[in-house]
Amino acid sequence: MRPTGLIIGVVIIISCLVFSAKLFKGSLINYVPFSEAREATGQTVQIMGAPAAGTMQYNTSEHALHFALTDEKGETMPVVFKGPKPEDLDTAMTKATKITAQGSYSPATSTFVAENLLVKCPSKYQGSNDSGERSYGKA
């Protein structure tokens, strides 16, 4: 009876470890260049770039933020983020040095549809613990 219980226990533990590893691997989302994001239609990916000057527009009827990101190669990607407008978004987007957008590319609109945004701003306090990062979207 004991060896059977031990075997069952080991099988349960191994099953839990395999399930946890697959779950963790599935939660990882790769950073990709804009060109790869366009090819990964329907897949959730992350892109990163600097906000293109003068492109931020918030459409109140759609509850959608439209802007463009520019990567290190100088390539530009239009981005739309749907959701309620956070109070400090104007300030954060104006001062942002980098924005990470998580979502998928829509070939129908030639736009990256972001589900989450991480806005990196320079800290206004030297030596403070404030990293300057602001996160918007689904948790």
CA angle 91, 135, 65 (to 5 degrees): 60
At the topology level, CATH places domain 31-137 in OB fold (Dihydrolipoamide Acetyltransferase, E2P) (2.40.50)
- Kindly give the residue spans of alpha helices, DSSP state H, lying in 28-100: 34-39, 89-95
Taking alpha carbons only, the member of 95, 104, 43, 96 closest to residue 77 is 104
Q: Give this prediction's pTM.
A: 0.69
Per domain, the residue ranges of the chain are 1-29, 31-137
Give residue-wise pLDDT tens across range 70-95. Answer: 999 999 999 999 887 766 777 777 77
Taking the alpha carbons at both ends of the chain, their separation in whole angstroms is: 46
pLDDT of residue 67: 92
Nearby residues of 6 by Cβ (< 8 Å), 6 or more positions away: none
Average pLDDT over residues 7-20: 86
